[in-house]
Amino acid sequence: MKDQKIIQKSPPIFPFTAIVGQEEMKLALELNVIDPKIGGVMIMGDRGTGKSTTIRAIADLLPEIEVIKDDPFNRHPTDEVQKKFETELIKIPMVDLPLGATEDRVCGTIDIEKALTEGIKAFEPGLLAKANRGILYVDEVNLLDDHLVDILLDSAASGWNTVEREGISIRHPAQFVLVGSGNPEEGELRPQLLDRFGMHAEIRTVKDPELRVRIVEERTLFDLEPYIWIEKYKDQQDLLKQKIIDAQKLLDKVEMTYDFRVKISKVCSELDVDGLRGDIVTNRAAKAYAAFQAKKTVSIDDIQLIIVLCLRHRLRKDPLESIDSGYKVKKVFQDIFEIS
């Protein structure tokens, strides 16, 4: 009976390994969970292309994490040294940020009256606290208030959230993979905000009729018998989960030659990319992909596969230019790395 209750509380989630196509989006998400310091993913594409399904699926795929029991910030027990805490294993937090969310809902609030009358810092945690050590997903991020996007990006970059009210300040860990999605028809994100996302994946509606039929059939069968369908993909899910865990452990040992690092910076310079974020993210993503392939050395193929995802959104937009930014990145990469 107890097991029955657990099943009811946990709605079935479509398996990540069952998702057909959308390889760019899947790769960007995999690399960000291997190395969260890549800086998140911006996914732009048509409506109904499985963005939300894929993001929930990657969160469900990840291994459980150990936290201090009932801690509002999902802190790891080693972060606390004052006394012994009871711990528990929880699923990786997956937090949805609604479009109408206020700053208080996102960052948390301080009860000033309680703080003044009782002399304690009465803090009500927000969504950033819940997302610590997990994934924060913002659908239609291009429609979100710029001020809120700034707060999200600052927290994602620093790993901390600070709330200040009437001279009282609270700071808590907020380390998460920020995933934004949107439809370009509804407006682009401002360039200075877009640039702060580590990677940018573009997804399009599948045109191939046979592939479309396969996607519809997979989804229909999942809706009919979700637990049977999840069981069917269990071995593939377990293999991918282990591959991600192994990559996380290997990441610090992966090396890239000085020549490759110089050439990556040459590509960024040739493309007139502002700042050094493009260089840093490309280096990180290439190492994460090498680790994902169980390698300790980055190859040209590794860089070639991830460089468009890391740089396409950092190029200055010329409204008169018809060349796709991804094509420009590929062309400059091939010239500098001397690939025919």
Side-chain half-sphere of 324: how many Cα atoms within 13 Å? 6
- Would you place residue 6 in the very low, low, confident or very high pLDDT band (cuts 50, 70, 90)? very low
Compute the distance between CA of residue 186 and CA of residue 139 in angstroms, rounded to an integer.
12
**H/E segment holding residue 177:** strand 176-182
DSSP E strand stretches across 105-167: 108-110, 123-125, 134-139, 160-165
Compute the distance between CA of residue 296 and CA of residue 290 in angstroms, rounded to an integer.
7
Among the residue ranges 12-26, 73-87, 191-205, 233-247, the one predicted with the least confidence is: 73-87
CA dihedral 138, 142, 146, 152 (to 10 degrees): 20
269 versus 49: the higher-pLDDT residue is: 269
The reported pLDDT for the residue numbered 81 is 45
Mean of the pLDDT values across residues 190-215? Answer: 82
pLDDT tens sequence across 128-162 = 999 998 999 988 888 888 888 888 888 888 889 88
Residues with active-site annotation: 277
User: Which two tokens mark 28?
Assistant: 């960007």
The reported pLDDT for the residue numbered 167 is 73
The reported pLDDT for the residue numbered 200 is 92
pLDDT tens sequence across 285-331 = 999 999 999 999 999 999 999 999 999 988 877 655 555 678 889 99
Domain 252-336 carries which CATH code? Answer: 1.10.8.80
Mean of the pLDDT values across residues 169-197? Answer: 83
The reported pLDDT for the residue numbered 5 is 41
CB 301 within 8 A of CB 272: no
pLDDT tens sequence across 233-243 = 899 999 999 99
- Would you place residue 82 in the very low, low, confident or very high pLDDT band (cuts 50, 70, 90)? very low
- Would you place residue 117 in the very low, low, confident or very high pLDDT band (cuts 50, 70, 90)? low
CB 151 within 8 A of CB 192: no
The reported pLDDT for the residue numbered 4 is 45
Compute the distance between CA of residue 144 and CA of residue 131 in angstroms, rounded to an integer.
18
Average pLDDT, the chain: 84
The reported pLDDT for the residue numbered 27 is 94
Domain definitions of the chain by residue range: 14-203, 252-336
Domain 14-203 carries which CATH code? Answer: 3.40.50.300
The reported pLDDT for the residue numbered 115 is 59
Mean of the pLDDT values across residues 260-267? Answer: 95
Mean of the pLDDT values across residues 264-281? Answer: 92
Which pTM does this prediction carry? 0.86
